[in-house]
Structure 1
Amino acid sequence: MTKYSVLVPFLPRRPEQLLPYAALVDWTAAERLWQGQSMLVDPFQGFAAAAGSGFRVPVGFGVTLMPLRHPFEAAHQVRSLAMATGHPVVAGFGPGGASFQRSLLGAPYASPLTAAREYLGIVRGLLNGETVQAEGVYFSCHGALAPSPAPAVELGLGVLRPGMARVAGAVADCAITWLTPASYLRDTVLPALREGAAAAGRPVPRIVAMVPLALRRPDRAPAEVALASNAPHLAAPHYIDMLQRAGIAVDEGDTALSARRLVEGRGFLHGDIDGLVEQLAEYREAGVDEVVLNTTGVFNLHGHHAAMADLKTILAAVA
């Protein structure tokens, strides 16, 4: 059975801005509250602040970027958050784009796949209570976390293309995708996950899909909402490559055209509530275990109340 969760549709500047969305998870059938990487209030600190305000809900990171934290610090932070919330945490990590890697590290990872494999291997060992002795190409660690009981942590890996999906199959508990049409998940991502899991002799990780969407309203043009939600992704090389593999012909020189094609290719979902429920069902049929409702475009164009109204309507329909 596919579960439905909620993405915080903006980058908070104050932790209290998270509270209405934490309350939505607390008071509805939503499974979990998610946030991507933020360069304003850090997601680890924001979720801890929400827990301290009384909203201790399950949370997930989709995804935080590896160049920002050594894997020992990542393991420490995520276990601390699980202890603060009292709930299992889904900790998703990803290498980020090559330009981001270069800006922090001096050069991009020559092999993002190797970097991701090393990173998750160290984090998993630490969270399992092991004394990790790892010397990698990109990450090394010699140490252990102080022993303490804590809720479980599920390790996720950001996945767009088959290579990273095979790595996720081998080392992650879940593959976390963003902007990926259901058909692409079914035909490309899931087979690669299965391949990686079979090679490692382990279960196939579950799929968490971050799905951008908007309800049809008189004041909304779907392509405009799609662009407001995903403009940076439509210009990023790794997203362009993924979308082209999915059959969506992104035009780097015309983002408005790319946004229209994104809607037509069901990378961005739009319609009345019955239509959205039907489109979301395609993710269930594609093998997705958790759909994260992403109303960023609605928030950016129409504000908090409009985004919250869409989330409440959709959650009520899919519950």
Structure 2
Amino acid sequence: MRRCDADPARPDVRAPGPEARSGLMRVGLLDGAQRDRRPATLDELLARARLAESLGLRSVWFSNIFGHDAMTVAALAARVTDRIEVGTAITPTYPRHPYAMAQQAASTAAAARGRFTLGVGPSHRVVVEEMWGLSYERAYAHTGEYLSVLVPLLRTGKVEHAGTRFTVRAHLTSTDGLPVPVLLSGLGPKMLALAGTLAAGTITWMVGARTLRDHIVPRLREAAAEAGRPAPRIVVELPLALTDDVAAARELAGRMFKSYAVLPAYRAMLDREGATGPAEVAVVGDHDAIGEQLLRLAEAGATDFNAAPYALGEHDARLDTCLRALVEIGARLSAPLPLSVERSS
């Protein structure tokens, strides 16, 4: 059994066979969420996007934390690749007026020639108030109004909205006729309702299979159905380590991703899962174990799984091995999304 910290030769991946599947799920890479190393340079992010495409991953998503702007990276990544979907996970709403967000997203979609998906969310109180000096009061109402401006602009190129937070009467000429699906980082019941009603689905982080099955999927699908929307896209993102040393990998995940355990939105999801911290929801193990964990996510309703790879050894030297394994495991679990899901916004 090969590991991320072993010689990076092509692994002989064993994953659940077609007869074991009840879900179909695309597999991609989440870049930028890893907290164990120096921040990636722009060239490194673009190189990893090219690697992900060359190995056969379906998508590459960029975090928008404290480093490079994710939409800028996505636009550049699209220009050095040919087929892979590029996305943001997620771009915070508070620092950007929804018109500015729509304008940049439309430009990114043009750069990507229609391969771009925009993931947005309100971020967290500690970031918005203590770092940016803005008010986080009534984040749900803010997000609903934000989507009410953003989504029509991207869908039709114009919007007329008069609300308590935004009054926007504007048009956008840079859509190039390309779809820009919008996903919301909805986790709580009210935000999931917004994701199903106004967006094309959700992007989750620190959500395990039980919480996905019992909370995220039913609430999101119900909201979409009641709104007459297409079946929502459900993008699940988790740390992943391909290794035989499960105990050490989970201990490392607990240290690397510990900050997420104290953010209220993620803490609530971990509590629903019965997990004390990120170590317990990380996808960890050898090829068989990872295949089984991804199968459980697919069966729970995930349409996509994005891995945030981390390694017990040096990260980039082993990334090739991890992504090759992920591609081969994902091949048993993945299928094209319905057109209505891929192009809805």
Q: TM-score, normalised by structure 1?
A: 0.87
Inter-partner Cα distance in structure 2 for 1:54 and 1:4? 17
Deviations 1:118-162 (A, max 9, x none): 111211111123431112233332201015524311110002222
Q: Which residue of 2 aligns with 1:212?
A: 239
Please, which of 192, 198, 201 is the counterpart of residue 219 of structure 2? 192
Please, which of 6, 14, 20 is the counterpart of residue 47 of structure 2? 20
Deviations 1:78-116 (A, max 9, x none): 111111121331101111111222243532132x22221
Q: Which residue of 2 aligns with 1:316?
A: 328
Name whichever structure is richer in helix by fraction.
1
> Residues 204, 55 of structure 1: CA spacing in aligned structure 2 closer, same or farther, 3 A cutoff?
closer
Inter-partner Cα distance in structure 1 for 2:237 and 2:246? 24
272-281 vs 305-314, greater mean Cα deviation? 305-314
TM-superposed CA distance for 1:200, in Å, is: 2.0
Q: Which residue of 1 aligns with 2:270?
A: 243
Native 8 Å contact 1:91 1:154 kept in 2 = yes
Please, which of 168, 173, 178 is the counterpart of residue 205 of structure 2? 178
Q: Which residue of 2 aligns with 1:290?
A: 304
Q: Which has the higher contact order (CA 8 A, sep 6+)?
A: 2
Inter-partner Cα distance in structure 1 for 2:299 and 2:167? 40
Deviations 1:298-319 (A, max 9, x none): 28x6321223321222212322
> Residues 131, 152 of structure 1: CA spacing in aligned structure 2 closer, same or farther, 3 A cutoff?
closer
Please, which of 289, 305, 308 is the counterpart of residue 275 of structure 1? 289
Inter-partner Cα distance in structure 2 for 1:23 and 1:14? 14
Native 8 Å contact 2:246 2:285 kept in 1 = no
Q: Percent identity?
A: 29
Q: Which residue of 1 aligns with 2:64?
A: 37
Alignment coverage as a number of residue pairs: 303
Inter-partner Cα distance in structure 2 for 1:157 and 1:281? 24
Q: Which residue of 1 aligns with 2:151?
A: 124
Over the aligned positions, Cα root-mean-square deviation in angstroms equals: 2.2
Inter-partner Cα distance in structure 1 for 2:314 and 2:54? 24
Deviations 1:231-287 (A, max 9, x none): 210121221122112222x3xxxxxxx35xx42xxx111111011101100111011
Native 8 Å contact 2:30 2:60 kept in 1 = yes
Unaligned runs of 5+ in 1: 251-257
TM-superposed CA distance for 1:61, in Å, is: 0.9
Matches within 5 A, 1:84-95: 84-95=111-122
Inter-partner Cα distance in structure 2 for 1:312 and 1:160? 30
Matches within 5 A, 1:42-191: 42-53=69-80, 57-103=84-130, 104=132, 106-110=134-138, 112-146=139-173, 148-191=175-218
> Residues 193, 19 of structure 1: CA spacing in aligned structure 2 closer, same or farther, 3 A cutoff?
same
1:70 maps to amino acid: H
> Residues 31, 150 of structure 1: CA spacing in aligned structure 2 closer, same or farther, 3 A cutoff?
farther
> Residues 183, 40 of structure 1: CA spacing in aligned structure 2 closer, same or farther, 3 A cutoff?
same
Native 8 Å contact 1:154 1:173 kept in 2 = yes
2:104 maps to amino acid: Q
Q: TM-score, normalised by structure 2?
A: 0.81
**SS of the counterpart of 2:207?**
coil
Native 8 Å contact 1:71 1:122 kept in 2 = yes
Inter-partner Cα distance in structure 1 for 2:185 and 2:262? 18
> Residues 38, 100 of structure 1: CA spacing in aligned structure 2 closer, same or farther, 3 A cutoff?
closer
**SS of the counterpart of 2:184?**
strand
Q: Which residue of 2 aligns with 1:253?
A: none
Q: Which residue of 1 aligns with 2:28?
A: 5
**SS of the counterpart of 2:251?**
helix
> Residues 71, 246 of structure 1: CA spacing in aligned structure 2 closer, same or farther, 3 A cutoff?
same
Deviations 1:202-235 (A, max 9, x none): 2331201012111124597022331244221012
**SS of the counterpart of 2:94?**
helix
